[in-house]
Amino acid sequence: MSKSLDALARMRDLPDAELLQALDRTRDELFRLQLGKHTNQVPSTAAIETKRREVAKILTILRNRDLGLETQGRARKES
């Protein structure tokens, strides 16, 4: 399995409360990176894109759980 698929599987194993904490933490890191970009203190602008994608992944997992398409630990199989 690739590194990104492992990270996604680990995120899916987290309960909702921990996902929300990870979302808050990631959004804070993204804010700090964006602020650093405007003050020319970010060595790599690719980190901003990575954090944005991480926020999107967490939001997608939470939304799928709300819709009942996914449970903690795995996606529901459609028959």
With bands split at pLDDT 50, 70 and 90, how would you rate the model's confidence at 77? low
Residue 56 belongs to domain spanning: 3-71
- What CATH number has the domain bearing residue 23? 1.10.287.310
Between 76 and 60, name the one with better pLDDT: 60
Instruction: Decide if 76 is inside a domain.
Output: no
Residue 77, by phi and psi: left (phi above 0), alpha (psi -120 to 50) or beta? Answer: beta
Instruction: Decide if 78 is inside a domain.
Output: no
Question: How far is CA 71 from its chain centroid?
Answer: 16
- Would you say residue 74 has pLDDT above 70? no
pTM: 0.80
Total domains in the fold of the chain = 1
Tokens representing 61 are: 């997992």
pLDDT digits (tens, 9 = 90+) for 6-53: 888 888 888 889 999 999 999 999 999 999 988 888 778 899 999 999
Q: How many CB atoms lie within 10 A of CB 41?
A: 10
Instruction: Decide if 65 is inside a domain.
Output: yes
